């Protein structure tokens, strides 16, 4: 437990002081491997976004079979170019411009790269709450008293089931990772076609990621404030809302649990 906390602290401090070139010390990367985590009883689910890790660091983690699968755009590919564009535009601080499709670029490529980024953002945010969002404190996945979410993936769990919030998020992250790792859905080779249902898959991913934000705001915002993470949460959610609204990725009805916050973001 103490070792997990120590390593998490090192990761967050490293990210805080250098968010745009986030690199971890080799001994930390070693401990992030599957074998090491099992040996030491470490839990790092959702610890940091893979788009903030350099390719060399990521390759080391991937070779050690870490917990963080990632759509890895080969160097020089369109995906890598779009990732650089995202980093550059986000660095400008203008989120409305950052979400727009770059002129002449492929819409599906833009969706794919951003889907990975937003997935990772939600991972790091929820990762800070795993000690507080438990099956005891959150026995169901809710967003306030009016909204409850049940899990079904249509494959292994076909009928929606009631699960705790952490179990729902676990199911969700595993499901999204499976989609990102499936090259028939998220092709990684330059020039490979996207499937006909690609945008439907992306919309489902974003709809479900929104539910994690909704749960965090309704159930854990005071804890976020106590951790002094509210500015980061609000910025990430604003980016999320602007992107999904720009391309109509989430039906308006799905946004109801955070309707006032969403409207304030869109109007400002």
Q: Is the pLDDT of residue 174 over 90?
A: yes
Q: What's the domain count of the chain?
A: 1
Domain membership flag for residue 48: no
Query: What is the rounded distance in angstroms from the CA atom of residue 222 to the CA atom of residue 219?
Result: 8
Is there a contact between 198 and 130 (Cβ–Cβ < 8 Å)? Answer: no
The pTM for the full model equals 0.71
Domain membership flag for residue 71: no
Residue of higher predicted confidence among 212 and 3? 212
Residue-range definition of the domain harbouring residue 130: 77-267
Give residue-wise pLDDT tens across range 32-73: 433 333 344 444 443 433 333 332 333 323 233 223 444 444
Domain membership flag for residue 34: no
Domain membership flag for residue 235: yes
Closest by alpha carbon to 80, among 107, 113, 54, 104?
A: 113
Mean of pLDDT values over 201-206: 98
Residue 84's pLDDT is 61
Percent of the chain with pLDDT over 90: 58
Domain membership flag for residue 205: yes
Domain membership flag for residue 46: no
Domain membership flag for residue 93: yes
CB atoms under 10 Å from CB of 36, counted, come to 15
Is there a contact between 218 and 142 (Cβ–Cβ < 8 Å)? Answer: yes
Q: What is the mean pLDDT of the chain?
A: 77
Give residue-wise pLDDT tens across range 98-151: 899 999 989 999 999 999 999 999 998 999 999 999 999 999 999 999 999 999
User: Where does the chain show beta strands of DSSP type E?
Assistant: 141-142, 148-149
Domain membership flag for residue 199: yes
- Residue the block writes with tokens 């991972």: 123
CATH number at residue 116: 1.20.140.30
């Amino acid at each position: 437990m103490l070792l997990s906390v120590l390593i998490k602290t090192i990761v967050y401090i490293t990210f805080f002081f250098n968010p745009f070139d986030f690199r971890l010390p080799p001994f930390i990367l070693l401990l992030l491997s599957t074998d090491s985590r099992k040996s030491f009883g470490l839990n790092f689910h959702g610890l940091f976004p893979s788009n903030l890790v350099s390719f060399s660091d990521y390759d080391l983690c991937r070779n050690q079979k870490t917990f963080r699968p990632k759509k890895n755009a080969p160097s020089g590919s369109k995906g890598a170019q779009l990732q650089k564009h995202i980093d550059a535009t986000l660095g400008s601080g203008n989120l409305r411009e950052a979400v727009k499709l770059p002129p002449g670029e492929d819409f599906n490529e833009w969706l794919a790269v951003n889907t990975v980024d937003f997935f990772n953002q939600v991972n790091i945010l929820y990762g800070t709450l795993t000690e507080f969002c438990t099956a005891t404190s959150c026995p169901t996945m809710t967003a306030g008293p009016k909204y409850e979410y049940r899990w079904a993936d249509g494959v292994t769990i076909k009928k929606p089931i009631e699960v705790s919030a952490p179990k729902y998020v676990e199911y969700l992250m595993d499901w999204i990772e499976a989609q990102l790792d499936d090259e028939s859905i998220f092709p990684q080779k330059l020039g490979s076609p996207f499937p006909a249902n690609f945008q439907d898959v992306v919309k489902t991913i974003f709809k479900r990621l929104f539910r994690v934000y909704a749960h965090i705001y309704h159930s854990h915002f005071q804890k976020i404030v106590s951790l002094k993470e509210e500015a980061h949460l609000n910025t990430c959610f604003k980016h999320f809302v602007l992107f999904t609204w720009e391309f109509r990725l989430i039906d308006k009805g799905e946004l109801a649990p955070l309707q006032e916050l969403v409207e304030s973001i869109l109007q400002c």
